[in-house]
Chains A and B, each alone.
Chain A
Amino acid sequence: MTRERRLSWINGFLLPFLNVLTAFIATAIVFVLIGVDPIKATKILIYGALGYDEGLGYTLYYATNFVFTGLAVAVAFHAGLFNIGGEGQAYVGGLGTALVALYLNPAMSAWIVIPLAISGGLLFGALWAIVPAYLQAYRGSHIVITTIMFNFLASALMVYVLVNVLREVGEMSPESADFIKASWLPFVHDVFASFGYKIAKSPLNLSILVALFFSGLVWFFLWHTRWGFAIRAVGKSNDAAVYGGINPKKIIIVTMCISGALAGLVGINELMGVQHRLFLNFNYGYGFGGIAVALMGRNHPVGILIAAFLFGILYQGGAELDFELQNVSRDIVVVMQGLVILFCGGLEYLYRPILIRFLAPIEGAE
């Protein structure tokens, strides 16, 4: 192994692995503190998430949301931008999807309605990201602060829209009417049934294919197109990018639009796939979860798919823990998310000094 390959192996696999491991050990300590056997909890969690097809269906369904928000955060990271507005972009993206899925002619074919509804989510997600992007690029306001503010604006806007505009006459709860049938994404169990295979019912729907498609697209875009190169160049070195004839301001806008659009796809899974109507807080927690997923997946689509699957396991397994054990609620997943963000993000260099100390003598001996 050459030195470079060894270094990339250490940075790309060994360090992230140690970081994730530390986050899990810290979670185990939390379990012990609240009087739960961590090994028993892990068994319940894994069985609940993977042990039977309904559980696996739920796991993949949750994972789908995390793929979208994880990709959103990762694309922005590559341009050196921290988009913590995924929560708001997902929320408003859902509005875009809902508007298409509510008001198109019900007689239209699903082959037209579904792509249009997906585009609605992409468009509204991007629109919600474009103002913070513009302010960062041209007015110098920090994207982190503006995207935080936009998260709050999104929830104020959505409450207003749902209560005053989309709520049906005579309905108490702030929800929209049902979407037109043509916009419903088929459930995976229905698709399997139509081929003659019987699997258990779960909310898993064809959005997962959309998620896989966009993972591939993001990979191709970032590493095999001119725009992707420009984005990564701006992220690595602004000055070098300018010298290479790239306009960083434009790149900031483009990147944030892509990032917001990806986050806007959460509504595809939640609304078109499962609930078939727009309701309050359908996006809850996925935007922030996406930060953990992107950090854990090292901002690479393959890593994000793995990390999203892991978070899907935690979400579904956490629900199972809630059900099985008395003194744990599914909020343990939120704690884990926090710990993953802390150890894979904030403390990502925790083990570097130790590794350097161990590996330097080995290098010297060669």
Chain B
Amino acid sequence: MSEIFLSTVLTLDASVRVCIPLIFASMAGLFAERSGVVDIGLEGKLLMSAFIAASAAVVFGSPWVGLLAGIIASSVLAMVHGFASITYKGNQIVSGVAINILAAGLTMILSLAWFKKAGITPTLKNDQRFLSIDLPGLELIDNIPIIGVIYRELISGHNILVYLAFAIVPIVWWVVFRTRFGLRLRAVGENPKAVDTAGISVESLRYKALLIGGILCGIGGVYLSTAYNAQFVKDMTAGSGFIALAALIFGKWHPYKVLAACFLFAFLDAISIRLQGIVIPGIGEIPVQLIEATPYILTIILLAGFIGKAVPPKASAQPYIKEL
């Protein structure tokens, strides 16, 4: 019993760790898509920020410099996306694809130029990364059965970015649903013309949304290379940006539901490693690939309207052309 309990807690703990970049990236996507700009460049921004953060952390010897550099890198890409899709009214999907491919190439080229190795940065020392912190009262609570284990393994012992991720979701909810900016953001995604006639700039709102997205995505990338791992490695995002996009749709563009979707997808990821090679009576061995593919399958089924309906903001992917 206690062994099953412990391994459940450990799986949940692993899910939390996998979940973090998904949360940051999907919240970034939430801002962009709520403003009517489709952002499939989340993957590229995560990757770029992970690389720049690891590089800056190793060169300047501080994870905080890494954090700043990662945020800047991701925001620059977000602004390129804005420049193409807001100012020049180009195709937002094409621009997002460009950002993903550009990030994949640049991280390889720059790592070779800076560190003489393609697709890898030097390993970060402990003082160059975000390390786990023990929450107060650990010794006290540790002695209590069950709760002690949950507190020690699941709640305490994460790095600062993990706590930040969970703190950011209610903040996003508050900004989107309880502030003037949030109201305008949602309006510009549904009906930009109405916002424009009210005398509010559609372009500036969308740029702001993309910038917030750039910052959030940046933190997600920083987490990958300086907290979850201790270096940047080639293609380390491994589709997280797209899973985040799936979670965004699965959570119907609502912060709490998106958080739940992120956690579900992360849990599937964590459990797929544990289920490897285990034979379930009556069913047989479940292929790992099937579990890995589940987030995508679930999203497709949802999108098809078979379980609920995911309706994106109405003005999604449409550049706003002001009447002259």
CB-based contact A148/B40 at 8 Å = yes
A338 contact from B93, B105, B249, B312, Cβ within 8 A? B105
Q: B97-130 vs A: 1/0 string, CB under 8 Å?
A: 1111111111011101100101100000000000
Give the number of A-B contacts (CB < 8 Å).
151
What is the number of residues of chain A that contact chain B, defined by CB distance less than 8 Å? 49
CB-based contact A149/B300 at 8 Å = yes
A50 part of interface (Cβ distance < 8 Å): no
CB-based contact A334/B305 at 8 Å = no
CB-based contact B105/A334 at 8 Å = yes
CB-based contact B97/A142 at 8 Å = no
B304 part of interface (Cβ distance < 8 Å): yes
A327 part of interface (Cβ distance < 8 Å): yes
Q: A84-B93, A146-B303, A153-B297 are in contact. Are A346 and B105 (CB under 8 A)?
A: no
CB-based contact A288/B97 at 8 Å = yes
Bound: A292/B242 CA distance, A: 20
Closest to B300 in A: A149
B245 part of interface (Cβ distance < 8 Å): yes
Q: A55-82 vs B: 1/0 string, CB under 8 Å?
A: 0000000000000000000000000001
Bound: A338/B207 CA distance, A: 22
Q: A327-B113, A328-B112 are in contact. Are A341 and B94 (CB under 8 A)?
A: yes
A157 part of interface (Cβ distance < 8 Å): yes
A149 contact from B88, B113, B118, B296, Cβ within 8 A? B296
| Interface bin, chain B | 35 or more
CB-based contact A341/B101 at 8 Å = yes
B95 contact from A159, A327, A346, Cβ within 8 A? A346
B74 part of interface (Cβ distance < 8 Å): no
Specify which chain A residues have a CB less than 8 angstroms from the CB of B91 in the assembled complex. 82, 345-346, 348
Q: A18 CB to closest chain B CB, in angstroms? A: 14
Q: A297 CB to closest chain B CB, in angstroms? A: 14
**Residues in A291-348 with C-beta less than 8 Å from chain B:** 291-292, 295, 327-329, 331-339, 341-342, 345-348
B83 part of interface (Cβ distance < 8 Å): yes
B94 contact from A142, A156, A291, A335, Cβ within 8 A? A291
Closest to B90 in A: A346
CB-based contact B245/A335 at 8 Å = no
Closest to A339 in B: B102
Q: A145-B249, A149-B246, A153-B296 are in contact. Are A139 and B89 (CB under 8 A)?
A: no
Specify which chain B residues have a CB less than 8 angstroms from the CB of A336 in the assembled complex. 105
Q: A156-B289, A349-B89 are in contact. Are A331 and B304 (CB under 8 A)?
A: no
CB-based contact B297/A34 at 8 Å = no
B170 part of interface (Cβ distance < 8 Å): no
Q: A162 CB to closest chain B CB, in angstroms? A: 10
A350 part of interface (Cβ distance < 8 Å): yes
CB-based contact B239/A327 at 8 Å = no
Closest to A158 in B: B289
Specify which chain B residues have a CB less than 8 angstroms from the CB of A35 in the assembled complex. 113
CB-based contact B242/A342 at 8 Å = no
Bound: A335/B112 CA distance, A: 14
B293 part of interface (Cβ distance < 8 Å): yes
B308 part of interface (Cβ distance < 8 Å): no
CB-based contact B93/A144 at 8 Å = yes
CB-based contact A335/B292 at 8 Å = no
CB-based contact A335/B109 at 8 Å = yes
CB-based contact B109/A331 at 8 Å = yes
A160 part of interface (Cβ distance < 8 Å): yes
CB-based contact B98/A144 at 8 Å = no
B84 contact from A140, A164, A342, Cβ within 8 A? A342
Specify which chain B residues have a CB less than 8 angstroms from the CB of A139 in the assembled complex. 303-305
Closest to A23 in B: B98
Q: A357 CB to closest chain B CB, in angstroms? A: 15
Specify which chain B residues have a CB less than 8 angstroms from the CB of A295 in the assembled complex. 94
Q: A288-B97, A335-B106, A341-B101 are in contact. Are A349 and B88 (CB under 8 A)?
A: yes
Bound: A159/B289 CA distance, A: 7
Bound: A350/B88 CA distance, A: 6
Specify which chain B residues have a CB less than 8 angstroms from the CB of A348 in the assembled complex. 90-91
Specify which chain B residues have a CB less than 8 angstroms from the CB of A144 in the assembled complex. 38, 40, 93
Specify which chain B residues have a CB less than 8 angstroms from the CB of A135 in the assembled complex. 300, 303-304
Bound: A82/B317 CA distance, A: 12
Q: A34-B113, A149-B296, A153-B297 are in contact. Are A160 and B98 (CB under 8 A)?
A: no
Name A residues whose Cβ lies closer than 8 Å to a Cβ of B: 30, 33-35, 82, 84, 131, 135, 139-142, 144-146, 148-150, 152-153, 156-157, 159-160, 164, 288, 291-292, 295, 327-329, 331-339, 341-342, 345-350
A-B contact pairs, 15 of them (CB 8 A): A139-B303, A141-B304, A145-B249, A145-B299, A149-B242, A149-B297, A149-B300, A150-B296, A150-B300, A331-B104, A333-B105, A334-B101, A338-B101, A338-B103, A342-B102
Q: A338-B102, A346-B94 given. 8 additional CB < 8 A pairs?
A: A34-B112, A139-B304, A141-B305, A144-B38, A144-B93, A331-B109, A339-B102, A345-B95
